[in-house]
Amino acid sequence: MWNFIVRIMPVMGAYLMIRFIFWEKRNKDMEKPEITNEYIIKSNGMVAEIFCTYTCFSLLLLYGCLFKYGLKDIFTIVCILFVVLGVIGSLNSIVWQVQVKDQDIIVRSTLGIKHYYSFNNISSGTYKKNGSFIVWIENKRIIKFDNNIPFEKFVMQMAQYNIPINHI
């Protein structure tokens, strides 16, 4: 089993390197963001591919650990934690999205739970030093966009509705 894992790792590494070489830094939507009535903001497909690949490697490693050591070894427990982290990251990058229809905002969480908001209720937005953006309703954080997600359309629409945008 370990020989199989060792043989497939260079192939997967080469695949990921080729994907990184040809991957654009951001989606083409970020070059010229236009305000439209309906759009969806979600994580980049490359992030989902990386997490799914990581999860597959972790599952292979877990399978080898279970086959060789069973559940009594600490290394097996660590592999289980790696698999859980990979599944959570994969779900977050695949399921999470923000859908905007005119003034209505639908936020779908990692677990698929939908929350409904409106631009009329948003009190402010905040840029962080690391490039992420947080949307607030009063003192409650409702959305956090990481810096690898194209959220410029959302910020432009907030500016259109005269919602204050702060920089930290």
45-103 tens-digit pLDDT: 777 888 888 888 888 888 888 888 777 778 888 888 989 998 998 888 889 999 999 89
Cβ-Cβ contacts under 8 Å for 13 (sequence gap 6 or more): none
Strand partners, 113: none
Query: By C-alpha distance, which of 106, 113, 112, 62 is closest to 91?
Result: 112
* Cα-based angle 40, 41, 44 (whole degrees, multiple of 5): 125
Is the pLDDT at 28 greater than 70? The verdict is: no
CATH code reported for the domain at 27-40+98-168: 2.30.29
pLDDT of residue 125: 95
pTM of the model: 0.70
- Measure the CA–CA gap between 143 and 126, rounded to whole angstroms: 11
- Measure the CA–CA gap between 62 and 5, rounded to whole angstroms: 11
109-147 tens-digit pLDDT: 988 899 999 999 999 999 999 989 999 999 999 999 988
Q: Which two tokens stand for residue 56?
A: 């597959």
